[in-house]
A and B are shown apart, each in its own frame.
Chain A
Amino acid sequence: MVEFLWIIIALPLAGAVFLHFFGRYLREPLSGWLASAAVGGSFAFAVAAAMPFLQGGEHAETLLLWEWMPAIGANLEILWDPLSALMVLIVTGVGFLIHVFAIGYMHGDERFHRFFTNLNLFAASMLTLVLAGNYAMLFLGWELVGLCSYLLIGFWYVRAAPPPAAKKAFVVNRIGDFGLMVGLMIVFSAFGTLSYSGIFERAGAELTTGVATAVGLLFLLGAAGKSAQIPLYVWLPDAMEGPTPVSALIHAATMVTAGVYLIARSAAIYELSTVAQITVATVGALTALWAASIALAQRDIKKVLAYSTVSQLGYMFLAVGTTAYVAGIFHLMTHAFFKALLFLGAGSVIHAMSDEQDMHKMGGLLKKMPVTGWTMAIATLAIAGIPPLAGFWSKDEILGSAFARGGWFSALWVIGLVTALLTAFYMTRQWVMVFLGEPRWDEDKHPHESPAVMTFPLVVLAVLSVVGGLINTPFRLTLEHFLEPAFEMVSMQRPPEGWAMFALLAGLSVLAGLAGAAAAFLTYRQPEQGWRGFETGFEPLWGTWEGAYHVDDIYGRVIVAPGRKAAEAAAFAVDLPVIDGAVNGVARVVRGVGDWARPLQTGFVRNYGALLLAGTVTVVIWLVVGS
C-alpha cells in the first residue's frame, strides 16, 4: 500500500494538469465533478492507507520517489506516519466537500474550469507539504500553497479589491518564508541534512539550546506568516476577497494550519528550547484574544469568520507551544470541520443574497434557508465550545493542557478562557444577526435555499462538527493513541488527571461559552435599535474593534510608507545616477574614443597604402639599424 502513496498527490495534480489544458472543452459542472473526484479519490486512498495506524502497532514508513539532491537530504520522499495521515485525511476529506460545494457556488462563472484547476493544484500542493519526508519538500509545498493562495484570492482579478489583497497575502507570507528559510539554513548547517529522520533522531544529542531556540523562533516567524499570527495576521482578513470556497478550503481548513503542522512536526526541535515553546504559546494566546476582540465588531459576514479563524489558529499555537501537540492537531481537525462549515454556510448566504456580505442588511434568513441556518447553528455552537460538540473537546483539551503546565502558561490559560467567552459572543451575534430578527435586506433581494450540491456538504460537515470531537474525549483517547507514534520521542503536555479537575476546567470553559452565547443572543434578539445602542454604548472601543485596531494603517505608516520611500530612494537616488550612470558612462567613454579615432579612416586607398608603406619602411629601418 505504502509504495502507492504518491497517488494521493498525483491524483489532484493530474486533475489540475488535465483541467488546465482541456478544461475549457468540458461543460460546466463536469470539470467541477472531475476535480472533486480527483480529491475524493485521494481521500479514499488515504483512508485505505491509514488503516494500519488505526489498528495500532504500525510505525512510520518513508517512500523515496526520486533522488533530487541526496547529498543534502532533499529528495522527493513521502513520510507516512499518523500525523501526516491525519493531515492528509483532513485536507482531502474537507477538501472534497468544499470542491463539491464550489460546483454549486461557482455556477455561471465564466472561468469555472480555471477555478477548479487552481483548487486541484492547491490540493496537490498541500498534500506535498504534509506528506513531505524532509524540510526541502515541505518548503516546496509551502511555497506552492502560497502561490495557489495568491492565485485564488485574486481569482476575480477584474474586480478592484482582489488583486491588492492577493498581493498583500503574497508579500506578508514572504516575510514569514524568510524566517522559515533562515531556520532551515541553520538546521542544515547544524545537521548537514534536511531529512526529518536525520534531524529528529540526532536533535537531542547534537543541538544546543541556543541553536534550538533560534531555529524555533525562526520557524515560528514562518508559521506566523502562513498561519496568520501576530504580527503577520493582516493578510488573512483581506484574503476574504477570494471566492468563498477558497476562504473555506485555504484560509480556514487547510493551508493556514500549515504553520501548526510545521511546529508539531518539528516537535523534536521545540523540545529543546523552553523559550521557543513559551514564545509560540504566548503569540498564540495573544493572537487568539486580539483577533477575537476584532471579530466582535465586524459587519462583514466573512470578516467575522476571518478574524475568528485567526483567533482559533491562535488556540492551536497555544496548544503546540504548550507542547500539547495532540490537542493542537485535534483542534486543527475539529476547526477544519466547523470553520469550513461556517464559511460554506456564509457562502450559501452570500449566494442567496446575491453577493451581499453586510450582516446589517440580513436578518430573518432562517425561514428562507433552513438547512444553511440550522447547520450554521450547529457550527456556531461547536466553535463556542458547547458540549458535546466538536469544538468543546478540542478547546477544552488545549485550555486544560495550558492550565496543567502552570507558571506563565496559567496566564495564557486565562487569556484562552476570556477568548472562549468572546468567541461564543461573536459567533452567536453573527448567527442571530443573519438568521433571526426582522429582515433588513434590500428590496431587490430574493433569498432562497441553495441547491443540494451546496447543502449536502453543509450537512456532512454539520454531522462531523457534532461527532468529530468524540474521537478524543477524556473518556476515550482514540486520537491520542493514534498520533502517539508520531510524538513518541518528545515529552507531551496533557490535561490534568482526574475527574474533578476535568469537571472544574470544562465547567469553567462551558460557563464562559454559555455566558458569551447567552449575552449575544439576548442582545441581538432585540429590535435593531436595541443592539445598535448596545454597540454604540461601547464606543470608542467598538469602533477600534471594527477598525481592527487600525493595524493596517499603522503598518502602512510604519512599514509600508518607509519601505516605499526607501524603494524610491534606491530607484531615483542610487539606481538612476549610480548604476545607470556607470553603465551609460562606459558607453559615453567608448563613444568619445570612437569620435576621436574615426577621422583616421579617410576611405582613401592611398592613405592606407602610404601608412602601410611608412610602417613597413619603419620596421625595415629598425631591423637594419637596430640590430
Chain B
Amino acid sequence: MVDPGWYMALAGALFLIGALGLLIRRNALVMFMCIELMLNAVNLTLISAGRALNDINGQVAVFFILVVAAAEVVVGLAIIVAIFRLRASASVDELSELKG
C-alpha cells in the first residue's frame, strides 16, 4: 500500500496548480477548470485520509461534495456562457465594472 503522504503531496500539488492557474489565467473557462482542480484536490485528501484512518466518513463527504459541485458547475457554466454571448469574449479582465 502506498504511503498516504504521497496522496497528500499529490493533492497539495494539484491544489497549488489550480490556485496559480486561477490567479494567472484570464479566460473564465480555464479559471473555472482551475477551481474544479482545487476542489478535487481537496476531495483527494478527504478520500486518502478516510482510507488511511479506515473511516467511511471521508468517502461520504466526497459524495456530497461531488453532487454539490455538479450543481455548481451547471450554474457557473451557464453564467460563463451568458457572459460570452454578451461580450463575445471570456476574458475576466474586461469584467471590471465593480471597480471602485
**Chain A residues engaging chain B, CB cutoff 8 angstroms:** 597-606, 609-610, 613
Contacts and interface: CB of A to CB of B under 8 A. Distances in A.
Contacts of B23: 606, 609-610, 613
A601 B100 contact: yes
A603 B98 contact: yes
B3 interface: no
Interface string B1-38: 00000000000000000010011100000010000000
Nearest to B31: A605
Interface residues of B, number: 13
B100 A605 contact: no
B82 interface: no
Contact of B96 (A597, A599, A602, A610): A602
Contacts of A613: 19, 23
8 contacts: A601-B98, A601-B99, A601-B100, A602-B100, A603-B96, A603-B98, A605-B92, A609-B22
Interface in B34-56: none
B99 A602 contact: yes
Nearest to B24: A606
B99 A606 contact: no
Given A602-B100, A603-B99, A613-B19, 19 more contacts: A600-B100, A601-B100, A602-B99, A603-B95, A603-B97, A603-B98, A603-B100, A604-B92, A604-B93, A605-B31, A605-B92, A605-B95, A606-B23, A606-B24, A606-B92, A609-B22, A609-B23, A610-B23, A613-B23
A339 to B, nearest CB: 77
B8 to A, nearest CB: 14
A604 B96 contact: yes
A598 B96 contact: no
A600 B98 CA distance: 11
Interface of B: 19, 22-24, 31, 92-93, 95-100
Nearest to B26: A606
B22 A598 contact: no
Contacts of A599: 100
Contacts, number: 31
Contacts of A600: 100
A606 B91 CA distance: 12
A597 B100 CA distance: 8
Contacts of A603: 95-100
A491 to B, nearest CB: 84
Contacts of B96: 602-604
Contacts of B31: 605
Give the residue among A601, A604, A610 with the most B Cβ atoms within 10 A. A604
A598 B95 contact: no
Contacts of A597: 100
Nearest to A601: B100
Contact of B100 (A598, A609, A610): A598
A604 to B, nearest CB: 6
Nearest to B99: A603
Contacts of B97: 603
A185 B17 CA distance: 80
B15 to A, nearest CB: 10
Nearest to A600: B100
Nearest to B20: A613
Contacts of B22: 606, 609
Contacts of B19: 613
Nearest to B19: A613
A4 to B, nearest CB: 73
B90 to A, nearest CB: 12
Give the residue among B95, B98, B100 with the most A Cβ atoms within 10 A. B100
Contacts of B98: 601, 603
Contacts of B99: 601-603
A510 B98 CA distance: 95
A605 B99 CA distance: 10
Nearest to A595: B100
Contacts of B24: 606
A416 to B, nearest CB: 83
Nearest to B28: A605
